[in-house]
Amino acid sequence: MSNLTTAPPAGAPSVRRGGGGRTPARRRRITGAGGNRHLFFILPAALFLLVFAVYPVVQLVRMSLSDVRVDNLGADWQFVGLENVIRNFGDGAFGGVIINTVVFVAIVTVLGLVGGLAAAILLAPTGKWPGLILALLVFVWALPPVVNGSVWKFLLGTQGLFNTLLTDLGLASTAVPFLFDDRLALVSVALVNSWVVIPFNALVYRAAIIGIPGELFEASRVDGASRWQEIRHVIIPSVRSTTMILTVLTVVYGFRSFDFIYVMTFGGPGTATTTLPFLGYVQAFVRFDFGLGASTALIAVLMVLVLAVIYARNVRQEEK
């Protein structure tokens, strides 16, 4: 038998087997081209964030440290340091606004999570009616806040549906001032915000519940667990990571809520429903003290930033 293996002719370039004929230099060139290609695809998103996220934040910080009013808005801004922040904390109503914000966020977060989980448990089975109710929830969630707020302002009005039912059924002798009482107004607006948050949380919770292995439910039924025990010992522990993420998202949503307050109460009566975002709006676009409004907005941004860091850490831990 003749030997078919032949040596390469003298002077021919050497070929590395198993490397696809690619020399290290060629592989470096290809890898470098791939890296540049990745940068090319990242560049539009980076430019978008730079223009629409980073630049506004930089301008907000600069404005919060300056005296900016209508007469010098388009001119040079006089640097005043932390004077705007000091003016905010020196205002007697600012502490009440922070308390309003915390109470508002707490109500929206608790009711949004509990209501979302309850709705998801009820809608977890597949079928005609759960699908129909789920579609209605999505419709409520997708409505513009201005439309939603206007509808609820009408329903909670002196001659609205709720007061009509309460007086006709004899549960109240006079109309309840849902939106005009110092103690009820903030709770009423927060309840409406919770109503809007529940559909989104229910959709996310439902996806998490559907992903729970069926063997866990079968084992709990074999052990004689009741429906409540099934919820307490199977569903709630299984959706714990989802709850953590939704908690942070709902808190951030509650913190930046503005539209429902604007439509339903405009921060009143007095400052009973004024939160940090609404106060910043009034200072900047009603009193035209843009520097003061920017400092209020910056305080709200810093508080949301802390929550965003917590959210990012939770997501990273879940990915590990």
* pLDDT at residue number 261: 92
The alpha-helical segments, DSSP class H, found in the chain are: 24-49, 55-64, 83-90, 94-123, 128-142, 145-155, 161-168, 182-210, 214-222, 227-230, 236-238, 240-255, 259-264, 276-285, 290-319
Question: Can you tell me the distance from the alpha carbon of 156 to that of 188, in angstroms, rounded to the nearest whole number?
Answer: 8
* pLDDT at residue number 15: 45
Q: Which are the contacts of 179, defined by CB distance < 8 A and separation ≥ 6?
A: 153, 156, 157, 185, 188, 189, 264, 265
Low-confidence ranges of the chain (pLDDT < 50): 1-20
pTM listed for this prediction: 0.80
* pLDDT at residue number 17: 47
* pLDDT at residue number 1: 41
Q: Tokens 């308390």 sit at which residue?
A: 99
Question: Can you tell me the distance from the alpha carbon of 227 to that of 225, in angstroms, rounded to the nearest whole number?
Answer: 7
Residues 160-184 have pLDDT tens digits of 899 999 998 888 888 899 998 888 9
Helix (H) or strand (E) holding 67: strand 66-67
Total length of the chain: 320
Distance linking the first and last C-alpha atoms of the chain: 59
* pLDDT at residue number 19: 46
Residue 228: how many other CB atoms lie within 10 Å: 8
* pLDDT at residue number 305: 82
